[in-house]
A and B are shown apart, each in its own frame.
Chain A
């Protein structure tokens, strides 16, 4: 009889990262930082959306819980408005809510789908919210209207989303990757099948919008350029593997300043990479539980990651009585996240 296998034991904070106080009582599904300040939002399977204010004190980071908000069912995704005042969240209740942290008013439902909302993003250049759902659609919302501005059919359920205007990439089930030019959002710019062999887990658009990263469950990341003239720069690499065990890459995040990127996986590790020189800059120690999500703050001085169960080993390895959820904050050293130029060539973003 098939099973998922046993969960590993070990240290939950081997990297001696700073711990966010009063973490969610169930696993964290998404982490997002305010684009303006060091406020961190976490959404959780305990139906809550929580916000902390983080403060850097020299080498350390402290956290203060600020506010929280409820959905009726587990929350899967979150996004901040560009002015840092409002948080959007969506989840299994098939709704997305807008929560104004400044005004202190009640959260308002701004989006609805026919199935859980897996991904959400705010697009400031268009002043719209985009939501991706397991109902195989992408919907664009003007938060003042109850009906979507546009509904975009996807080939399959939305699993991953990344936006760097005008580039948007959606990863769906069955390895579809749909690229959109947001200057013409109603048409697919390009649809490709993933360069990876297994289920897509996460995508991240390059800061220069020349392409995107795609991560899968098979411990592999694909680097894909959109322009045909840059085909030769496409490649894939393996990561988050432990001898024979192959773990999924759950999160891909570009450093906002150096444009290197971090991967986080179900093996409980996170690594920093430089795609231009094709190097791994730093491998961090493995935590005892998976890392389902992670995020950089707006200037790259804080990397937040959650250590908790991500269901990668099924229900039988979920033990709510003993499982703990952590959110850690890592202060990246320059050597970990700054690109190292190739010998003999200039450093380019």
Chain B
């Protein structure tokens, strides 16, 4: 039980939600769950829009995700001193794999060599509320001091369930796939390593900028916004943030399709070791049964995006919406009752000015 009074979540939610819904960043698609599920007596439209959850978007965890525009301004550097590495090492005196502060059990662990030690800074990050950019910044500073994962080519969000502060993910497999494609094209191992290093440096710069600069909430960042709003976002957000470095162009190959036929495995040319022989990589174990020849691509597979699903969801959604608006006959004749409503729900806000009779 907390010892001091916590901020009333309901009170906080009320005012901030109105602000948020009024903003252009609100997307009704985020609220696609109803606590009653199948039992609900109201209609759940089958398209992505549905009723907003009664709890707003604080539905996922205890911490509130307040996203209102910050009235305090930005730019105050965090004044906390980062802990030196020596102190950090001495904090590893308690085995605590679970972050949840309510955990009551110490783990049944053996004294194995893999026992890992975890710094005890979970409580702050677990209850973080994005109300104050300074506290956000503080959390970011702590994360980057103590929680930097080994893999750098990653997005990052300081707040659970909240959008990324840094977007632009590259996974192990994507990097490896790009390397294999490059090798097939004849690039040397050295140039592949170089390309990867460039990507790393680019990412590190992004992290540095987030660390050094004033904290700006993700909503105002176009890169993460495009990533959030989904469809049509750039395949590589690195290229969206092209700062003129060659890395952007070299990562164009990350998603480029490789037309190279054949099944030559990864064999970069000019390897230093020189002992790389394609025969070892292409060894097919003789004990395996007949290895099937890959079938030719069927001629019918040339148009994969053709959707021949019978139920057209979009149409149904439109029909539902029209039922709600009681508007069946064309775009200009909208049911007059819309103008009499106190409050419009998203989707039925009229786009044209009200007729004179209502003014």
* Interfacial residues, chain A to chain B (CB-CB below 8 A): 1-5, 22, 25-27, 29, 45-48, 50, 65-74, 76, 92, 94-95, 97, 99, 104, 106-109, 111-116, 118, 134, 136, 139, 145-151, 153-157, 159, 173-175, 184, 186-199, 201, 216-220, 224, 226-229, 231-232, 234-248, 266-267, 269, 271, 277-286, 292, 310-316, 318-321, 340, 342
Q: Considering the complex of A and B, which 7 residue pairs feature the smallest CB-CB distances, nearest first?
A: A235-B100, A146-B300, A155-B230, A173-B169, A237-B98, A199-B154, A311-B176
Considering only CB atoms, which chain A residue lies closest to B92 in the complex?
A: A243
Cα distance A70–B60 in the bound complex, in angstroms? 44
Residue contact A186 to B33, C-beta cutoff 8 Å: no
Given contacts A136-B233, A155-B227, A155-B229, 20 further A-B contacts (CB under 8 A): A22-B287, A26-B265, A46-B265, A66-B288, A106-B295, A107-B292, A136-B231, A147-B306, A151-B305, A153-B231, A175-B169, A186-B309, A187-B47, A188-B29, A197-B157, A277-B105, A286-B114, A315-B192, A315-B196, A321-B273
Interface contact A188-B304, CB-CB below 8 Å: no
Q: Which residues of B contact A279 (CB under 8 A)?
A: 105, 107-108
Q: How far is the CA of A95 from the CA of B258 in the complex (A)?
A: 13
CA–CA, A72 to B224, complex, Å? 35
Complex interface bits, B212-244 against A, C-beta within 8 A gives 1, otherwise 0: 000000000000100111110101010000000
Query: B64 at interface (Cβ–Cβ under 8 A)?
Result: no
Residue of chain A at shortest CB distance from B33: A190
Q: Report the Cα distance A115→B173, complex, angstroms.
A: 13
- Residue from A198, A241, A284, A342 in contact with B156 in the complex, judged by beta carbons closer than 8 Å: A198
B344 interface residue per 8 A CB criterion: no
Given A248-B151, A279-B105, A320-B266: A238 touches B59 (CB 8 Å cut-off): no
Measured in the bound complex, the distance between the Cα atoms of B97 and A146 in whole Å is 47
Is A156's CB under 8 angstroms from B230's CB?
Answer: yes
Interface assignment of B349: CB less than 8 Å from any CB of chain A: no
Look across to chain A and name the residue whose beta carbon is closest to the beta carbon of B96: A238
* Cβ contacts under 8 Å, A229 to chain B: 35
Q: List 5 A-B contacts (CB under 8 A).
A: A4-B196, A48-B284, A67-B292, A70-B293, A232-B62
One of B115-123, B320-328, B351-359 contacting the partner:
B115-123
- Per the bound structure, the CA–CA distance linking A228 and B304 in Å amounts to 38
Asked whether A25 and B150 contact (CB < 8 A) given A184-B46, A242-B116, the answer is no
B residues 170-202 with Cβ under 8 Å of A?
Answer: 171-177, 179-180, 189, 192-193, 196-197, 200-201
Nearest-neighbour CB distance to chain B for A158, whole angstroms, equals 10
Main secondary structure of the interface of A (DSSP, over half): loop
CA distance A244 to B117 in the complex (A): 9
Q: Which chain A residues lie closer than 8 Å to B110 at the CB level? A: 282-283
* A45 in contact with B265 (CB, 8 Å): yes
B1: Cβ under 8 A from any A Cβ:
no
Size range of the chain B interface in the assembly = 35 or more
**List of A residues within 8 angstroms of B61 by Cβ:** 195, 231, 234
Given contacts A186-B313, A242-B116, A342-B105, contact A218 B147 (CB under 8 A): yes
> Interface with A: B18-26, B75-83, B274-282, B331-339, which one?
B274-282
Where the two chains meet, the residues of B that have a C-beta atom closer than 8 Å to any C-beta of A are 29-30, 32-33, 35, 37, 46-48, 53, 55, 59-62, 85, 88-89, 92, 97-100, 102-103, 105, 107-110, 112-118, 126, 143, 147-158, 160-164, 167-169, 171-177, 179-180, 189, 192-193, 196-197, 200-201, 204, 224, 227-231, 233, 235, 237, 255, 257-258, 261-263, 265-267, 271, 273, 275-276, 280-285, 287-295, 297-298, 300-301, 303-309, 311, 313
| Nearest CB of A to B198, in Å | 9
B172 neighbours in A (Cβ, 8 Å)? 248, 292, 310-312
Task: Return the contact of A187 from the options B48, B113, B143, B284 (Cβ within 8 A).
Answer: B48
Q: Which residues of B contact A219 (CB under 8 A)?
A: 149
Q: How far is the CA of A115 from the CA of B290 in the complex (A)?
A: 29
Q: How far does the alpha carbon of A91 sit from the alpha carbon of B96 in the complex, in Å? A: 38
Q: Could you tell me if B112 and A68 are in contact, using CB atoms closer than 8 angstroms?
A: no
Question: With A118-B173, A197-B157, A245-B150 known to touch, is A72 a contact of B263 (CB < 8 Å)?
Answer: yes
Cross-chain contact B180 with A285 (CB below 8 angstroms): no
Inter-chain contact A139/B108, CB cutoff 8 Å: no
User: Do A240 and B116 contact each other (CB < 8 Å), given the known contacts A315-B189, A319-B273?
Assistant: yes
Do A188 and B48 touch across chains, with their CB atoms under 8 A apart?
yes
Tell me which of A5, A146, A173, A277 contacts B301 (CB under 8 A).
A146
Q: From the candidates B107, B275, B290, name the one contacting A67 in the complex (CB within 8 A).
A: B290
Closest residue on chain B to residue A47 by CB atoms: B263
Contact B231 A191 (CB under 8 A): no
Residues of B within 8 A of A281 (CB): 108
A108 lies within 8 A of B255 (CB): no
Q: Are B281 and A320 in contact (CB under 8 A)?
A: yes
Assess whether B114 is in contact with A95, with CB atoms less than 8 Å apart: no
* Assembled-state Cα–Cα distance A296/B88 (Å): 37
Q: Are B297 and A195 in contact (CB under 8 A)?
A: no
Q: What residues of chain B lie closer than 8 Å to A197, measured between beta carbons?
A: 143, 147, 156-158, 160
From B103, B157, B294, give the contact of A70 (CB < 8 A). B294
User: Which of these, B160, B265, B285, contacts A47 with CB under 8 Å?
Assistant: B265
In whole angstroms, how far apart are the Cα atoms of A111 and B297 in the complex?
Answer: 10
CB neighbours (8 Å) of A292 from chain B are 172
